[in-house]
Structure 1
């Protein structure tokens, strides 16, 4: 579970901004929307909705989370001197381009221990890296690394126990990435490494997902049943192997995860079975189905995996291709105490204002992103004065009325003037061509 995620000088987030999944009061309201940890002392939200105008920076928030995931999971594989891909500083100021990106995340692993991980990095060097634990509810340093440290001088706290602790790595790699993938490291380090590996990301409008989970009979059966129950008109889904795909050759340096996706999508195909008027089942290929139905096929294994592992699902534009009732269904599943028993979370961006419903979401689950002079700001609905926005207020109405900000600032008059000008110019061009 993520408790909070902070970022600064990353993409459109120039100044430090924090997404908090910590329950802020009102513990009796929508109590199934959060998980209690540390003997009930802390409540952690199971979902967070991010709204804002186009290009406000919503997706960048999810990208920040995936940047942490990449550094933990993949940076140890970089060759000496290679750049760090997530180094994407704020580009609209000269200072930003010469400063490090800073990312911090507080989280709880499946064993129940709470940690805080802090990073600062430049284009080709991890400058600062720290890991703290709260095993006894007091912050304790596990390890820390300063700009002058090498793999030989990383400092360790007294809570680092069991297994090996010192591993060689290049300056462009995270210690946690190197140690977490080494069998001689302590189990708690490897658990943290696995935790970040279990975070899933659904990019906006992207169907580049592996079909391998659907080769598991129980997973396919569950996904098929859920698609049928989602009022898609489908009666069954099956997977078939294509012929003549064994000779697919891919570059040796291509990431294994990408290889798996490409190979699975070339070797496997889904068949959707729909009952005809005469009662027979007729097979349809994916390209004959709606985008929403095929997207469910890709997304549902990730949802089931999140519940199974108590993992985080970062979902960009959850409403893309999905009816608002499907979005509501997904949220209800994450908020169900009988299904979500391991503290799985979904953090999603959306333009669907129907989710702004005080009967289903808490104030602290709703976040708005605004952009001013290219710099994004993140603000929770819970930060608004309770005298004006109560727990039972009509959130959607307030948002649509512009009381909460984060709406597109578009002047219809100027848009109309621009279109009329463009049409006039085209007409004049055609006349000139005709006269010539």
Structure 2
């Protein structure tokens, strides 16, 4: 369960920006709030939605969270000695190139609250820290600290058991201690690192129909997805899988590609390189005028339906596991009511008993009137004159329950819009 994420000096984010999913004291809708004794205030938001003009930094905030996730999961086992850390410091101020990029996360694992973070330079993680807040005392307890300096040095707290010094010796300058510990099955730290694998990111859900059809056919199609599509009027009433023989040239290409990747001992994600003569595709059923099913390839469905297939599969998976889902441009190709229905899924105590969470960017201002969004779930991004992104919540402004937030946003009351005034003003002679 995510409580807070903060980042500094990464992409368009120069100064420290912070996103909180801890519920405020606002007297808004409480149904759907996640109860957690480990969280400040004991209530956590199931979702946060971020608004802002194009190029204001919404996606960069999500990419920063994705970078932190990747560093924890892969910096040890996928990195090579001396390899550059793929950070992206703020480029519009030359001083930021030599300054560290900082990432911090507060989260709850197995009922315990943790605070974890690190500072990254191009060639090394110069500092790293993990603190716990035991439920017995709720007082901060240091588990480990990695100190900045030319040589890697660690301090370990009494509460961290295990082969800490051995793992410290295995930690490279360009790998995180938490990543190294997880790869070496550290009993106490592995569940902490596993939290990062439970962050599901979706930046490019728009997938070509044939590829989407294959990806959906790889596993069991969730019947809840079909039921959802039925309810929102897509005309879809069922599905089936169709097996098709691969042409000879496709089999030859697959064999050559498998051999090429075998030489570097790597396999690209979401690419099946096993040798096979047939492929399986998903087809969606509609009813004809006599009530009989007629099957269409996924690629023949509308862009909105295709995107919903990608979104809903992810949403139901995180609901089942209590994970965090991060979606860039939730509203792309979707009607407002479809986007709101996705919010409703994670905001339902009955449908979300494990405390799954959603963080999404959007331009759909109609959602600002949704009954499923509290005022403390609405965030904005805006760039200053120096090109740096600033993130701030609606709760920074004086509003009342029942206010027309959409109208206020479009009027520029909360900032985070491309320009003030009407579109006609852009056409006027200067």
Same fold (TM over 0.5): yes
Following TM superposition, by how much is the alpha carbon of 1:241 offset from its aligned partner in structure 2, in angstroms?
4.2
Residue 419 of structure 2 corresponds to 409
| Residues 164/260 of structure 1: CA separation in 2 closer, same or farther (3 Å cut) | farther
Range that drifts further, 237-246 or 174-183: 237-246
In structure 2, what is the Cα distance between the partners aligned to 1:147 and 1:277?
71
From the superposition, tell whether residues 254 and 231 of structure 1 become closer, same or farther in structure 2 (CA, over 3 Å): farther
Alignment correspondent of 2:193: 193
8 Å contact 2:33–2:349 — kept in the other structure?
Answer: no
Q: Which residue of 2 aligns with 1:313?
A: 325
Residue 35 of structure 2 corresponds to which residue in structure 1? 36
1:267 to 1:172, Cα distance in 2 relative to 1, 3 A: farther
2:274, 2:388 → 1: CA distance?
Answer: 40
State which drifts further: 29-38 or 142-151: 142-151
With over 3 angstroms needed to count, the CA separation of the structure-2 counterparts of 1:413 and 1:301, relative to structure 1, is closer
Residue 106 of structure 1 aligns to a residue whose secondary structure is strand
Displacement of 1:415 in angstroms is 4.7
What is residue 83 of structure 1 aligned with on the other side? 84
Selected match of 1:364 from 339, 356, 376:
376
- 1:258 is paired with a residue of what secondary structure? coil
Inter-CA distance 254–338: structure 2 relative to 1 (3 Å threshold): farther
CA separation in 2, counterparts of 1:64 and 1:263?
34
Aligned residue in 2 for 1:169: 171
Partner of 2:18: 18
**Equivalent residue number for residue 429 of structure 1:** none
Cα drift, residue 164 of structure 1: 5.8
Closer, same or farther in 2 for the Cα pair 1:290/1:235, shift >3 Å?
same
Whole-angstrom distance in 2 between the partners of 1:162 and 1:384: 47
The correspondence for 1:258, drawn from 260, 266, 269, is: 269
Do 1:215 and 1:239's aligned partners in 2 also have CA atoms closer than 8 Å?
Answer: no
- The alpha-carbon distance between structure 1 residues 262 and 17, as it changes in their structure 2 partners (threshold 3 A), is farther
Q: CA deviation at 1:190?
A: 1.3
Q: Judging changes above 3 Å, is the alpha-carbon distance between structure 1 residues 84 and 263 closer, same or farther for their aligned structure 2 residues?
A: farther
Comparing 198-207 with 74-83, greater Cα deviation is found at 198-207
CA distance in 2, matches of 1:242, 1:166: 52
Give the aligned partner of residue 298 of structure 2. Answer: 286
What is the TM-score normalised by the length of structure 2?
A: 0.87
Aligned length: 407
- Counterparts of 2:237 and 2:33 in 1: how far apart (Å)? 34
CA 1:296–1:375: 2 relative to 1, 3 Å: same
Q: Quick one: structure 1 residues 214 and 38, their matched pair in 2 at CA, closer, same or farther if it must change by over 3 Å?
A: farther
Flag structure 2 segments of 5+ consecutive residues without an equivalent: none
Q: RMSD of aligned C-alpha atoms?
A: 2.6
CA 1:241/1:192 → structure 2, altered by over 3 Å: closer, same or farther?
farther
Q: After superposition, where does 1:119-138 map in structure 2 within 5 Å?
A: 119-136=118-135, 137-138=138-139
Structure 1 unaligned segments of length 5 or more: list them.
419-436
Which of 32-41 and 407-416 deviates more? 407-416
CA apart distance, 1:206: 3.3
Alignment of 1:101-250 (within 5 A): 101-109=101-109, 111-136=110-135, 137-148=138-149, 153-162=153-162, 166-167=166-167, 168-183=170-185, 185-186=186-187, 188-204=188-204, 206-207=206-207, 214-217=217-220, 219-244=221-246, 248=254, 249-250=257-258
Residue-by-residue CA offset, 1:258-315 (whole Å, 9 max, x unaligned): 1447889x94422011111133211111221101111222222211111111111001
Asked if residue 55 in structure 1 is aligned to residue 65 in structure 2, the reply is no
Within 1, Cα distance between the matches of 2:424 and 2:122? 42
| Contact 2:113–2:134, Cα closer than 8 Å, also in 1 | yes
Instruction: Note the C-alpha offset of 1:182.
Output: 2.3
State the shift of 1:88 in Å.
Answer: 0.5
Do residues 397 (structure 1) and 407 (structure 2) align? yes
In 1, the alpha carbon distance for the partners of 2:267 and 2:180 equals 18
Quote the offset at 1:69 in angstroms.
0.5
